[in-house]
């Protein structure tokens, strides 16, 4: 553990990940920078296709090449640039220092391997456990994530587990080497609401106990509000707004964020029409020169279609990509 107390655990600088498609170059992630402190939870919010997942896959170099390519940028993890490491060195980080949980627990476990074997693989690989050690560790991890009767269920196959249980197994797997960073890519999207709450509670609890930093990718603003310290709002491969969670919810500095917040259903409100942001996300292969959100923005002006907006610093902790960031922030 080399980094100093105030040093960032992870720093992403000017990350650009492009995909070569028949339709042209898709700039899935375009100039994204952020920092993550130790023990902190960062939320990344955005619509489908906004580059949330690609950003995080880029961090541990899991972009399929070709067609994808990390064009430029740095991913500094504990003082090391992951993007310039050799593949073997990156493999040592994956799972050991940075672990991931994926969206769909139904497909992210190998259907032909026993649960115990899949858990054991992690620690055998990274911690050099013997079979017995790895097995005992696997059982402990299953108990930790709340699998009842772990010892007798460890020999089961994934199809014998429900979605929520599988996601618990995924969490057990991700945390079994005590990683310093856990990337949860929409961990609750495929689960029903009651299970969602359980899983989120579990992640929060384990995070507190282990001090792991978490990046939580989601399109559910409610999840972000309850779980995270900082939030990044992504749109069309770019960071639109970046702020402390409380601040972002209280005083959004970007029309897009405002739109997102307005489109969250309010259970206390009388019946009425649910707000939605008009239009669809732009085709990131053919972006126009102006602001990518201009077509859908309710306070669009002529400059928005002409010039790409600046990344305005509202407070040292709060940035927004908008020509009128200050006005939006001001109310």
Helix/strand/coil for 316: coil
Cis omega (within 30 of 0) on the bond before 67?
A: yes
CB 321, CB 311: distance < 8 Å: yes
Q: Which of 8, 32, 70, 173 binds another protein (CB under 8 A)?
A: 173
Which x/- pattern, by CB under 8 A, does the window 22-61 give for another protein?
--------------------------------------x-
Burial 269-300 (b: 16+ CB within 10 A, else e): eeeeeeeebeeebbebeebeebbbbbbbbeeb
Burial class (CB in 10 A: 0-12, 13-18, 19+), 35: middle
* Site membership for another protein, residue 108 (CB under 8 A): yes
- Number of chain residues interacting with another protein (CB under 8 A): 51
d(CA 100, CA 292): 30
* Site membership for another protein, residue 206 (CB under 8 A): yes
* Site membership for another protein, residue 113 (CB under 8 A): yes
Q: Which residues contact 271 (CB under 8 A, 6 or more apart)?
A: none
Q: Which of 133, 156, 219, 258 binds another protein (CB under 8 A)?
A: 156
Q: How far is the CB of 118 from another protein (least distance, A)?
A: 9
Stretch that binds another protein, among 6-14, 27-35, 148-156, 232-240 (CB under 8 A): 148-156
Applying the rule CB under 8 A, the residues between 266 and 325 that interact with another protein are: none
Q: How far is the CB of 230 from another protein (least distance, A)?
A: 23
* Site membership for another protein, residue 170 (CB under 8 A): yes
CB 134, CB 115: distance < 8 Å: no
Write out the residues near another protein by the rule CB under 8 A. 60, 62, 66, 91-96, 99-100, 102-104, 107-114, 121-122, 125-126, 143-146, 148-149, 152-153, 155-157, 159-160, 162, 165, 170, 173-174, 198, 201-202, 205-206, 209-210
């Amino acid at each position: 553990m080399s980094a100093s107390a105030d040093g960032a655990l992870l720093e992403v600088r000017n990350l650009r990940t492009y995909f070569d498609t028949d339709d042209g170059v898709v700039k899935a992630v375009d100039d994204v920078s952020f920092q993550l402190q130790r023990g902190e939870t960062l939320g990344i919010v955005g619509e489908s296709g906004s580059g949330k997942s690609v950003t995080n896959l880029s961090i541990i170099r899991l972009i399929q090449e070709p067609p994808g390519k990390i064009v430029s940028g740095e991913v500094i993890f504990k003082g090391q640039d992951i993007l310039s490491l050799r593949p073997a060195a990156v493999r040592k980080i994956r799972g050991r220092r940075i672990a991931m949980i994926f969206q769909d627990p139904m497909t992210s476990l190998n259907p032909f391997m026993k649960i115990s074997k899949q858990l054991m693989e992690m620690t055998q690989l990274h911690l050099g456990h013997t079979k017995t050690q790895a097995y005992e560790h696997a059982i402990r991890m299953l108990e930790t994530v709340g699998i009842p009767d772990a010892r007798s269920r460890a020999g089961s196959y994934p199809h014998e587990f429900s979605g929520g249980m599988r996601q618990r197994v995924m969490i057990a797997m991700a945390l079994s080497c005590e990683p310093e960073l856990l990337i949860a890519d929409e961990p609750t999207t495929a689960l029903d609401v009651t299970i969602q709450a359980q899983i989120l509670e579990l992640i929060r609890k384990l995070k507190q106990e282990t001090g792991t930093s978490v990046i939580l990718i989601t399109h559910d603003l409610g999840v972000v509000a309850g779980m995270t310290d900082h939030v990044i709002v992504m749109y069309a491969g770019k960071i639109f707004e970046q702020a402390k969670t409380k601040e972002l919810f209280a005083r959004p500095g970007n029309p897009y964020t405002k739109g997102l917040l307005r489109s969250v259903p309010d259970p206390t409100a009388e019946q009425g029409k649910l707000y939605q942001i008009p239009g669809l996300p732009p085709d990131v292969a053919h972006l126009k020169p102006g602001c990518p959100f201009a077509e859908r923005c309710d306070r669009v002006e002529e400059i928005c279609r002409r010039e790409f907006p600046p990344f305005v610093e509202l407070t040292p902790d709060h940035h927004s990509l908008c020509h009128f960031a200050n006005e939006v922030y001001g109310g």
